[in-house]
Structure 1
């Protein structure tokens, strides 16, 4: 139903409404955001007192190009979050046939359909048929499915012959990016990269599109001037150039993902899937487990399209790990 509310993670008001007697503080595992945030640098007052300069914006995009492996900083467009880019892209094409590899992040279909395009969800890129735009989330949210770079390049070439686009949402590719398309991006492909998830700073609202320079120019025009705030520009360029932090965090969060799998596996119908920043559990008892965790003040992500699935973000403290392990152990003993 097109008017139905799309469920997202992070809504603790909904958690408290559903489980008013749950203990505080809540442990929010409903998002795929890194629970160990990049340390915020001191921000000088001038960042809040003046408009960002074009040079500030260019420097941020150069830092993103370095971090993601883009061939040219002019291909990189900074924006106040990838969600804004998802909403803008459908306005850049005439009415088209859109194939979305699903099930996946629901905002893609919502944005293209809302802009008047014909949208179909397909189970494989081979099922895209004669679509004008093919949308792939890689790695996929929520199951972590990964398409190989070669398959994406083949699809881009197929689309090129009729002026089509390949849109690849790489929101979780920073830590799971072996197949990222950015370093070899075809001129009819667009890649989206999220900043807030990797760096644990979702509230900064920062994301990027990487595209051929003509498409990048259209996006910049659609976004308008000063699309990224001064504080976000500063934090973004510093964090994106901090390769040591990113490498250490990648390794640490991969260990956390394995630890979480060990907790979830005894209750799952099959091995957990997903990415380093979240794990997807399938169980016939998922609705009961969701309620059990909610009563213990632990909020996880459920899904409209399949009630057997629960997605768990990574706990961010020793106490959160302890509470989660205790709650899961209590459920398994039922």
Structure 2
């Protein structure tokens, strides 16, 4: 595929303020797929700050229970895995089911691999054409930004084809906490299957930078050696263990997010931006005039995520907390009724 530029990401509210003015408090930021209800952590004990952060077995045990998987290694966010994996493999053919989280393209391209953007319908043909090149297929499932979901059965069939020729299937499950049915974590340990998970999104704790990778033991050990000691901060390990262990809060968070999803679908649809795909943590509204709409929303101090590629134009919205919902709806309607050019 053509070379991609270093990606921009949601949550970049300072860029919005620089371009459109206002203060942080003036904006409704729904540009990232991060839950607006953060896990309510207690104060961090003093010794957590003072000690070197060796890998905490309590965190690993909590994660194994939460994910139902024993083949896990903690990461400083799933982004750390996205950046490291391309460096662990000789140059090869890499396909990413697109549209997708742009860091996958960027990191594999930067490491010298040949990347291709393909659709799910093209996977079988691509695997056949590249079977001699130890290919890598990357799937974000559920997809960010389109919210497309691919069944576990289909993913496992793709994995079988890739593994037969020394290939990898990488499944980025950053948004899978609310959609566990298609998760491949029950199959972790299969040769050539790699799964990434994020703690920050569902738990609203993006700032602690914590995620996990699941794969076969030999590769897991290789990743651990590459990361070196102390790659997860002590406070992140402490916070993760508490949040991953709290099943009552997790259940309540699921209900909050599902209720918010229903409200977002109804609100966006009423405004004329019906989601073409929706998850509890993101909503995809395709629009040929996405860039213009994004500017009008920004004038109203709503910051969402713009996608303006030739074959992929639209806006992605994250959840909006209850205390901002009335303002969001008012500003949304005002933006879409604005007939002035941007």
Which interval holds the TM-score relative to the shorter structure?
over 0.9
CA distance, structure 2, for counterparts of residue 286 and residue 170 of structure 1: 26
1:49-98 residue CA offsets vs partner (Å, 9 max, x unmatched): 011234x1x3212211111111x2xx211011111110000111111111
Contact 1:24/1:297 (8 A) holds in 2: no
C-alpha RMSD of the superposition: 1.8
The 3-state SS of whatever aligns with 1:303 is: strand
Shift of 1:109: 1.0
CA distance, structure 1, for counterparts of residue 327 and residue 139 of structure 2: 36
Identify the residue that residue 213 of structure 1 maps to in structure 2.
217
Q: Is 2:107 the counterpart of 1:111?
A: yes
Pairing 1:157-176 to 2, within 5 Å after superposition: 157-176=160-179
- State TM-score, norm by structure 2: 0.91
Contact 2:142/2:176 (8 A) holds in 1: yes
CA distance, structure 1, for counterparts of residue 337 and residue 110 of structure 2: 46
242-251 vs 266-275, greater mean Cα deviation: 266-275
Q: Is 2:13 the counterpart of 1:12?
A: yes
Contact 2:268/2:274 (8 A) holds in 1: no
The 3-state SS of whatever aligns with 1:154 is: helix
Shift of 1:40: 1.2
CA distance, structure 1, for counterparts of residue 86 and residue 336 of structure 2: 46
The 3-state SS of whatever aligns with 2:182 is: coil
The 3-state SS of whatever aligns with 1:36 is: coil
Identify the residue that residue 126 of structure 2 maps to in structure 1.
128
The 3 A distance-change label for structure 1 pair 23 and 242 is closer
1:123-146 residue CA offsets vs partner (Å, 9 max, x unmatched): 122243226111000000001111
CA distance, structure 2, for counterparts of residue 314 and residue 168 of structure 1: 24
Contact 1:195/1:207 (8 A) holds in 2: yes
The 3-state SS of whatever aligns with 1:192 is: strand
Structure 2 alignment gaps of length 5 or more: none
Structure 1 alignment gaps of length 5 or more: none
Shift of 1:268: 3.8
Identify the residue that residue 59 of structure 1 maps to in structure 2.
58
The 3 A distance-change label for structure 1 pair 60 and 266 is same
Contact 2:271/2:333 (8 A) holds in 1: no
Identify the residue that residue 184 of structure 2 maps to in structure 1.
181
1:14-57 residue CA offsets vs partner (Å, 9 max, x unmatched): 10122125894211110000000000122111001011234x1x
- State TM-score, norm by structure 1: 0.93
CA distance, structure 2, for counterparts of residue 101 and residue 35 of structure 1: 28
Contact 2:5/2:106 (8 A) holds in 1: no
Number of residues of Structure 1 aligned to a counterpart in Structure 2:
328
